[in-house]
Structure 1
Amino acid sequence: MHVVAVLALQDAIVFDLATPLEVFGRVRLPDGRPGYRLVVCGSAPLVEAGPVRLATEHGLDELARADTIVVPGRHHVDTPTPDDVLAALRAAAAAGTRIVSICVGAFTLAEAGLLDGLTATTHWAAADVLARRHPRVQVDPQVLYVDSGQILTSAGASAGLDLCLHMIRRDYGTAVAADASRLAVAPLHRHGGQAQFIVRNPPALATTTLEPVLAWIEEHAHQDLSLADLAAAARMSVRSLHRRFHAETGQSPIEWLTGVRIRHAQELLEMTDHGVETIARRTGFASATTFRTQFRRLAGVSPRTYRATFRARA
């Protein structure tokens, strides 16, 4: 039987720990046999996972007997991983064991050197940190998960569920995976990627020198604005505005403006029944076609798909 070892580290995220236990634990093969045997392994007999304390039945030696190792994220990505954990992960990788991370568990894999030279993903809010800290990793913040064969990584929270269902399909086929998805009340495959969940231009990006013009853009984004209009609002030359935006936001002024408009459009898609043409007009896009193109480019899905995903939440 396929053995899945879930690695419980100090400060682990409970949701990330529970996802593989629930999803793999409920898999049944056509003849009724369980598809997986689950073990929880830790470097200590008692693990503090946020407000929860977990008693781990198995130590790190059990990782050597697993077919798949799942590494959940931890609340603080700056916390160094114990040396014995890193050594056990490296040994398992060398032996050909499939190793999977959920959310910011990718930081643990990267710390072990298992993501060097690979494309990987993590929660979008931590993607830039992962890329800076581990430059040999090609970080893709747009996707829900990345399957590199032996090493797999997923984005935040429910993307771990997507990845678990993907692995079940890889191990036992679509029929078994579809049954697991029904039990999890989750789609076997979700359209779009992580981009649709990203909050565009969050307030934390606003800087001291650009804060006035960023606030002005928020208020006037629905208008027909040119680069000259933005420069006039900022009371600086177009060249200086470009230089300041790139230095402090990493974007051009027009890229920032487009991001604000897309965020406003997302709010309208979630909270109103307005059609695409109306939303395009109200958020400052020249046409519905331009709006659809820019929305798909930044959100990864069409406005219609986005509304279907988030309307119930609103």
Structure 2
Amino acid sequence: MLSRVAALVVDRVAMFEFGTVCEVFGLDRTDSGVPAFDFRVCGPRAGVPLTTNIPGVTLTPDHGLDAVAGADLVIVPASTIRAEYPHEVVRAVRDAADAGAIVLTVCSGAFLAGAAGLLDGRRCTTHWMHAAELARTHPATTVDPDVLFVDEGTLITSAGTAAGIDACLHLIRRELGTEVANTIARRMVVAPQRDGGQRQFIENPVVACSNNGIADILSWLGENLDGAHTVDSLAARAAMSSRTFARRFAAETGTTPVKWLTAQRVLLAQHLLEQTDLGLEEIARRCGFSSGALLRHHFHRRLGVAPADYRRRFGDASTRVGTV
């Protein structure tokens, strides 16, 4: 059951992420058949204001850390990442987990869970901008930078703001059933279910290269994604053997020429889906895919959604007339 819910906030808390947690668990929706939650906002000290990520705005928790004890669910919203968290806050999270509470983090809240030792030996996620830092500071965990949320049973970690809503609704669905989750989603006017494995939408810029030959190739490819390219043809253009080119390319980019080219083509397809009303076949041609079917395959494999769904979510309404 999820009867008692504690939202644990610390200094420099992110207000929007905190607000989404309150929206899911903090509002009384018993008139719609949603079970009542004993929702408590807990901080290091009751009644002592905390700073937030919004200048001039403070947040004053009604409860102290003693109210975290006995919670069925402890939610850690995002806050500014720091090298060390208050010892008493870390202990409260750890003690709650040891007592059997589910811990759910939103965005950078995963770092506090990591400080409490809850990530070790587990898979987790956070906002893609923080994933490398989380992996570096907590090497005993497996950080997945792509997914919306990760359910490890008594630990659920989520990515950015909207993914926090997804994680909360997923947990409600898991513990209280689909009807309750759908009712809350309807009241919030959000999608009732987005699978945790759906990709975060990450923009991948062209990497900076120390090798001028590879840098020139990357720049040229960026202007000629619609062409037919092979490792041999690219190596010849760079005046290298195919083996040397592949080795140096991987050293500079961390991936193979084929994988890099596919990623850039999908990135261009994202832009065209967002900004134009071009059909799928024309987008495929401009991106260098031989067919719309091939574009659809690589697009879904990389982002976890179909091109048509992506356009519906991110397309410019003034140009959203084409079909994909």
Unpaired runs of at least 5, structure 2: 319-324
- The offset of 1:279, in angstroms, is 1.2
Structure 1 residue 115, shift from structure 2 partner: 1.5
What's the counterpart of residue 314 of structure 2?
310
Q: What does 1:229-308 align with in structure 2 at a 5 Å threshold?
A: 229-308=233-312
Equivalent position to 1:142, from 125, 143, 146: 146
Greater displacement, 278-287 / 40-49: 40-49
- Residue 69 of structure 1 deviates from its aligned partner by 0.6
Once residues 289 and 33 of structure 1 are traced to their aligned partners in structure 2, the CA distance between those partners, rounded to angstroms, is 43
- The structure 2 residue matched to 1:181, chosen from 181, 185, 188, is 185
Aligned partner of 1:53: which letter? T
Aligned-partner Cα distance in 1 for 2:28–2:181:
8
The aligned counterpart of 2:3 is 2
Match of 1:206 among 197, 203, 208: 208
Write out per-residue CA displacement over residues 230-249 of structure 1, whole angstroms, 9 at most, x where no aligned residue.
22444433333322232232
Other structure's SS at 1:64 match: coil
| 1:167 matched residue in structure 2 | 171
Please give the alpha-carbon distance, in whole angstroms, between the structure 2 residues aligned to 1:14 and 1:275. 40
Q: What displacement does 1:36 show?
A: 0.9
CA contact (8 A) 1:196 1:301 kept: no
**Quick check: 1:20 aligned with 2:24?**
no
Q: Distance in 2 between matches of 1:236 and 1:78?
A: 46
Residues 1:106 and 2:110 are matched in the alignment: yes
Alpha-carbon contact 1:9-1:43 (below 8 Å) kept:
yes
Paired residue type of 2:182: A
CA separation of 1:178 and 1:32: change in aligned 2, threshold 3 A: closer
- Would the aligned equivalents of 1:29 and 1:176 in 2 still touch at CA under 8 Å? no
CA distance in 2, matches of 1:103, 1:153: 8
Q: Does 1:66 align with 2:71?
A: yes
Worse overlay, 303-312 or 154-163? 303-312
- Give 1:18 deviation, angstroms: 1.1
Query: Residues 274 and 191 from structure 1, CA distance in 2 versus in 1: closer, same or farther, beyond 3 angstroms?
Result: farther
Q: 1:88-127 alignment to 2 at 5 Å?
A: 88-127=92-131
Instruction: State, as a whole percentage, how many aligned pairs show the same letter.
Output: 45
1:46 is matched with which residue: 45, 49, 52? 49
Question: What letter corresponds to residue 229 of structure 2 in structure 1?
Answer: L
Residues 144, 132 of structure 1: alpha-carbon distance in 2 compared, 3 angstrom cutoff: same
Distance 1:84 1:35 in 2: 29
Aligned length: 311
Q: CA RMSD in A?
A: 2.2
- SS class of match (1:100): strand
User: Which segment drifts farther, 253-262 or 116-125?
Assistant: 116-125
* Whole-angstrom CA distance in 1 between matches of 2:287 and 2:277: 15
**2:70–2:99 CA contact under 8 A, matched in 1:** no
In structure 2, the CA distance between the partners of 1:234 and 1:105, relative to structure 1 (3 Å rule), is farther
CA contact (8 A) 1:27 1:176 kept: no
Residue-by-residue CA offset, 1:144-191 (whole Å, 9 max, x unaligned) = 112222111111110001111122223322222111101111011126
For residue 322 of structure 2, what is the aligned residue in structure 1? none
- SS for the counterpart of 2:38 is strand
Rounded Cα–Cα distance in structure 2 between residues aligned with 1:163 and 1:169: 10
Q: Distance in 1 between matches of 2:98 and 2:4?
A: 17
Between 168-177 and 154-163, report the one with greater CA deviation: 168-177
Mapped to 1, the partners of 2:260 and 2:234 lie a distance apart of: 11
1:142 match: secondary structure:
coil
Contact persistence 1:165–1:177 (CA under 8 A): yes
Unaligned 5+ residue runs, structure 1?
none
SS in 1 for 2:244: helix
TM-score normalised by length of structure 2: 0.88
For residues 223 and 33 of structure 1, what CA distance do their matches in structure 2 show? 55
User: Which SS does the other structure have where 1:269 is aligned?
Assistant: helix
Instruction: Please state whether the residue corresponding to 2:199 is helix, strand or coil.
Output: helix
> Deviation at 1:114?
0.5
Q: Is the 8 A contact 1:12 1:48 kept in 2?
A: yes
**Equivalent residues of 2:149, 2:196 under 8 A apart:** no
Change (3 A) 1:242 1:33: closer
Greater CA drift, 241-250 or 117-126: 241-250
